[in-house]
A and B are shown apart, each in its own frame.
Chain A
Amino acid sequence: MYLFANATIYIGLAIAVYSLLIITLGISTKNQKFVNSGKSGMIALFVCAGMAMIVMFYLLATSQFQYEYVTDYTSSELPIIYKLTALWAGNAGSLLLWTFFLTLYMVMITFSRKMKGNPMVPYISAILMANAVFFFFILGFVAKPFNLLATVPTEGKGLNPMLQNPGMIIHPVTLYLGYVGLAVPFAFAMAALIMKNVDDFWIKMTRRWTIVAWLFLSLGNIFGGQWAYVELGWGGYWAWDAVENASFMPWLTATAFLHSVMIQERKNMLKIWNISLIIVSYALTLFGTFLVRSGVLTSVHAFANSNLGLYFLIFMGVAVILALYVLMSRYNLLKRSAGEFNSIVSKESSFLVNNLLLVGAAFATFWGTVFPLVSEAVRGTKVTVGMPFFNKVEAPILLSMMFVMAVCPLLAWQKSTVKNLRKNFLIPAILAVIGMALMVVLGIQKAWAVIGYGVIILLLVTHFLEFYRGVKARRKMTKEAPLVALYRLMVRNRRRYGGYIVHLGIAFITMGIIGSQNYDVETMKTVSLGQSIELRDYRINYDRLDQKKEGINDIVYADVTVFRKGKKLGTFQPEKVFYGNWEQPSSEVAIISSVKEDLYIVLSAWEDNGKATFVVKVNPMMDWLWFGSFMIVIGALFAVWNGKYGNVTPRYTGVRKEVS
């Protein structure tokens, strides 16, 4: 097994190097046979990575403690699902997962129906293959997943209990799919540049793949947020942790790209900017990995410190320099076809402002994340840049972003006249102002909340109008029933309406964030049996404290009965788990959700006389956040779904067709 496992890695490395060379040779000598050989190598590589994954799953599932990785991250009594998920609990395993996804994407692109006979394929393959070489090299020589131990321990060290949560199953997988996914648009961009062809085909394909990567990245962050919310000690659903920032930055720049590429599509402008955004997004995924794996910053996502980060930094450096070189060498070609704008106030301009703010937010995140290092380098003081900093700096930028998002749909392409502006914005603006006034009267008086919700009302109204006008225009011509018209309108322009659904999702998320950040209350009280804690509309009766055993873990739990405004909501059990093979206990919180707010109960401590200390929080509008997340997923899926209409990928119309 040991031989086979390592063979998958080293043979994989050999195949990757071979394929990279043979494809490059094939391209330069215009020999289709070489390229085909490289493509076959790609399948072989996928098989290697797949085999390595299967072997690793097998070793973990059967607790083969002679393997260092299995010992480090599992123990024999661990439930099977967490034994399997331990594959991505450590450095080597998570990079194996990454490699596997990379080869998966590679095969999907190279052998997809759409790409058949496309001369870009060899270039794209070569670029992705270069990535694969790097990852197989890392697996083969730096973070080896299949290391044997000198002595076989009888028991493993176990998986950190905080990672024993359903979040562990899905959060890393989606996040890695997003991370790796951003390598695909990068490869497309580079291939297009090398071939001197940045046409419609390039835009369609790159955009599509960027949405796929973006969707996974969003999902990864959402699942991560959800997990951190229920797990005590991670600072809530978003803590601006270095690693969270590392995935937020490429998300922002990819979002910027998805918007600015529309200008390229319509006006044939911003080509250099768009390609730069792709390069930056890709580089940020590697930079994020460098941050996480090098241990230069403290983070809740603590991977074992190693020199792994350095390799990523070097790889990123090389990739960025090469990419910039290619971009510069094609600078004149890209610049030649630059178009013009008709007016300062237009949808085009608003897209530029959108890009400015998104990239600005990414920069602010970047600056805050690396500032401890900068400060240490400049004056030797390693300051902490935490939540208060990011909340203060990002809030105005992201709120302005929401405002642009609210305004943009109603601005006309080309030029918005004053008449046009008045016609489009009068009603939404009045409604937003009325809404804000109502909020102040009803007692919502915090400035951020009032402004934020005001902007969101504007956003909701403008988006509603956008749907309404579309349906009206369609009905005028087709005389369809309103719902039919809405359905057909949307499926015939999936990207636009999918995008709007995503916007609405973001609006809901923002409402959730504003509500939960500004109007949360929390208390910590020690009560005797039979006593109760009151917080806002809630009364929590402390009924019982008991202990039970689950496997090798001891669980202390409290029975609490919760009443809201005198009405019984039920009995709940916040608990504290003491692990047989882990030093620190962890808290299982009780969460009672409603549309209005979440009641969050933590059993914090207890005494021998039965007194117990509880932390009780009321987090308003949390469900809005999750609902918005759901809408983002629906919107993104709707946009990329291969519909019948208007989503035909144009055939490649490039200049050369030598090998494909």
Chain B
Amino acid sequence: MKMKFYLGLLVIAFIFQGSFIRAEAKQIDYKSAEFKAVAQQFACTCGCGQDHYECDPNTCNLTTEFKKDLVGMMNKGWDKDKIRQYYVNIYGEEILTSPEKSGFSLTAWVLPFVVLGLAAIAVFIIIRKWVKKKGTDVVMTDYESTEDEVEGEILTSMIDEERKKYL
């Protein structure tokens, strides 16, 4: 009898399990910021050239399923990094919209700044060299400030104007 009771409970639990989970599952807006953070990481491979956040489920079947899977994982409580790792493990780095920040792909992120930094040092050294070459004993013939400069320009243009009148 007891056995039957437990079995019955199990059957009931089995029947209603779907609705229990569904009750737990949150309705996620495909255009919400939280979904964006997750979906934007993945490139859609249907050929639209967009990520899974932007890709329109009406024109792309691939993204419809993908979005559902993402929502499923988000409902399981996975955060965006865990979801990212899950997909990278299956599909490799190709599925991401931006390269990983490790291994060879790190060079994608770092190189621009390394080059910029080196170039900045080079520019600094060059300017210093040019300044040194000039020495300190030079008389400043040019304008001391912006205002003087503007005045100088105005004067030149006025002289020019007058000259044109008579020549």
Contacts and interface: CB of A to CB of B under 8 A. Distances in A.
A382 B108 CA distance: 13
Contacts of A523: 29, 31-32
A157 interface: no
A387 B115 contact: no
Given A492-B154, A493-B153, A585-B59, A413 B142 contact: yes
Contacts of B30: 524
Contact of B49 (A298, A360, A413): A298
Contact of A381 (B92, B116, B123, B143): B92
Contacts of A344: 127-128, 131
B109 A393 contact: yes
A325 interface: no
A384 interface: yes
Interface stretch (A1-9, A170-178, A465-473, A544-552): A465-473
B42 to A, nearest CB: 9
Contact of B127 (A341, A492, A585, A645): A341
B146 A412 contact: yes
B108 A371 contact: yes
Given A300-B49, A344-B128, A523-B31, A383 B147 contact: no
B24 interface: no
A379 B104 contact: yes
A384 B99 CA distance: 7
Interface in A548-583: none
Given A384-B97, A385-B98, A477 B92 contact: no
B112 A364 contact: yes
B75 interface: no
B140 A525 contact: no
Contact of A388 (B98, B151, B157): B98
Contact of B157 (A343, A363, A413, A492): A492
A233 B93 contact: no
Contacts of A409: 146
Contact of B138 (A342, A359, A378): A342
A397 B120 CA distance: 12
B146 A469 contact: yes
A646 B98 contact: no
A158 B38 CA distance: 37
Nearest to A583: B59
B130 interface: yes
Interface string A221-236: 0000000000011010
Interface string A423-448: 11000000000000000000000000
A233 B59 CA distance: 10
B160 interface: yes
A233 B142 contact: no
A389 B108 contact: yes
Contacts of B151: 473, 476-477
Interface string A203-245: 0000000000000000000000000000011010000010000
A412 B154 contact: no
Nearest to B153: A493
Given A341-B130, A342-B134, A646 B157 contact: yes
A354 to B, nearest CB: 11
A387 to B, nearest CB: 7
A473 B133 contact: no
A367 interface: yes
Interface string A375-419: 100110111111111001100010000000000011011110000
Nearest to B112: A364
A225 to B, nearest CB: 16
Nearest to A521: B33
Given A340-B133, A414-B140, A470-B150, A381 B94 contact: yes
Contacts of B160: 645-646
Contacts of B109: 389, 392-393
Given A413-B149, A604-B58, A383 B105 contact: yes
A412 B50 contact: no
A462 to B, nearest CB: 10
B111 A233 contact: no
Given A384-B97, A474-B154, A367 B29 contact: no
A147 interface: no
B56 interface: yes
Contact of B116 (A342, A356, A371, A473): A356
A298 B130 CA distance: 46
A512 interface: no
Given A342-B138, A381-B93, A386 B59 contact: no
Contacts of B157: 492-493, 645-646
A387 B31 contact: no
Nearest to A360: B116
B50 to A, nearest CB: 6
Contact of B94 (A382, A389, A420): A382
B47 interface: yes
Contacts of A352: 123, 126-127
B81 to A, nearest CB: 14
Contacts of A478: 154, 158
A489 interface: yes
Interface in B113-167: 113, 115-116, 119-120, 123, 126-128, 130-131, 133-134, 138, 140, 142-147, 149-151, 153-155, 157-158, 160-161
Contact of B144 (A379, A388, A412): A412
Contact of A584 (B57, B59, B144): B59
B98 A363 contact: no
A368 interface: yes
A32 interface: no
Contacts of B131: 340-344
B82 to A, nearest CB: 18
A368 B110 CA distance: 11
Contacts of A340: 130-131, 133-134
Contact of A360 (B56, B115, B145): B115
Interface in B46-68: 47-51, 54, 56-59
B96 interface: yes
B51 A375 contact: no
B96 A420 contact: no
A543 interface: no
A109 interface: no
Given A356-B116, A393-B113, A492-B153, 14 more contacts: A233-B54, A298-B49, A300-B49, A340-B130, A357-B116, A368-B108, A384-B97, A387-B40, A387-B97, A389-B97, A392-B109, A409-B146, A420-B144, A604-B56
Interface of B: 29-33, 36, 40-41, 43, 47-51, 54, 56-59, 92-94, 96-99, 104-105, 108-109, 111-113, 115-116, 119-120, 123, 126-128, 130-131, 133-134, 138, 140, 142-147, 149-151, 153-155, 157-158, 160-161
15 contacts: A232-B56, A235-B54, A341-B130, A344-B127, A356-B120, A375-B105, A385-B98, A385-B108, A388-B40, A388-B41, A389-B97, A389-B109, A469-B150, A473-B147, A522-B36
